[in-house]
Amino acid sequence: MARAPIPIPAPPLVVLAGPTATGKTALAVRLALALGDDERPAEVISADSRQVYRGMDVGTAKPTRAERRGVVHHGLDLVEPDEPFSVHDFVRHARAALASLAARGGVAILAGGTGLWLRAVASGLDLDATPHDAALRARLDADLAADGLTALVARLRTLAPTLAARTDLANPRRVVRALEVATLRGDGLPPPPAGYPGAVARIGLDLADRAEHRRWIEGRALGQLDGGLPDEAARLRARYGEGLRSLSAIGYREAFDLLDGRLDREGFLTVNVARNAAFARRQRTWFRAEEGIAWLDPSADDPLDASLALARLCLSA
């Protein structure tokens, strides 16, 4: 019998997924304001693997306090950029927020583009089946730096061909993680998800017109550039250097290059937009494998009414 992933009463859960720069953050706030009241709080749990880091605000498009509009947000500013933070850490944090909301009769809005984090909470992944070991991860990171991605991909294909077939082999972090799991657990597929022990509505935001989405990405990149990203990157580099994994997030490498004169303003925008567009393609590949998502195009219509209707069906279940 499948083990319940959250051994507590689970509040209704609205999952808001989709590629980067599609308006998930703003819609999550609007949903919370529309669904919540004094008797039934509605709170957002951010599922963004970069927004957990303190001081990484502009470059991660972290919502400001004004943009949160009084809505409680979980999953922001949890650790320093040089501290490790895994999907296991996120699930523990999310479960605490869910337990609190359940006790208060509230509703949770799980919003973000980090697909594994969304799946871990909303689908009830058995994280014991994907073990982790910090010392092993450090060795694999060192191997990646010394030998390169191609060598680690070859090692993964030899050690765990089944796992390799399900891994994004162009993503160094995913390859390192897959090697970590394969070394600790062996090859093979993990057990199927146990499910979320409560009502769930799954909503996705994406633009059918890819050229229009690219313009949205360009607009956000320009806003970050003019909104203080270079200064933020300079402060982070002065404190931590450039080598942290957290600072490999899109925007910071380009900002370092801009600060050092390797890129000008147009070059920053070109590289940033290209990296975000490639990231969005990888996110779409991930989300295509997720079942039950009702997709909305925020460039065609305001997604609030359709999202509210889906959320209220969840609340009445």
pLDDT single digits (tens) 167-185: 889 889 889 989 999 999 8
209 contacts 198 by C-beta, under 8 angstroms: no
Token match 């989300």: residue? 287
Report yes or no on 175 lying in a domain.
yes
CATH number, residue 259: 1.10.287.890
In this predicted structure, what is the pLDDT of residue 8?
57
309: left (phi over 0), alpha (psi -120 to 50) or beta: alpha
Instruction: Count how many domains the chain has.
Output: 3
Asked whether residue 3 is domain-assigned, the answer is: no
Same structural domain, 254 and 118: no
Classify residue 286: in a domain, yes or no.
no
8 within a domain of the structure (yes/no): no
144 plus 37 within the same structural domain = no
**For residue 225, what are the domain limits?**
210-281
Q: What is the pLDDT of residue 114?
A: 95
User: Is residue 81 over pLDDT 90?
Assistant: yes
Question: What are the residues whose beta carbons fall under 8 Å from the beta carbon of 172, sequence distance 6 or more?
Answer: 144, 149, 152
* Same domain assignment for residues 31 and 175: no
More confident residue, 301 or 133: 301
Q: Which whole number is the average pLDDT over 39-44?
A: 96
> pTM value?
0.86
Q: What pLDDT sits at residue 247?
A: 96
What region does 55 belong to: left with phi over 0, alpha with psi -120 to 50, or beta?
left
User: Are residue 54 and residue 152 in the same domain, yes or no?
Assistant: no
Q: What pLDDT shows up at residue 166? A: 86
The β-bridge partners of 201 are: 14
Please state, for a pLDDT cut of 70, what percent of the chain lies above it.
97
Let me know whether 198 and 108 are in one domain: yes
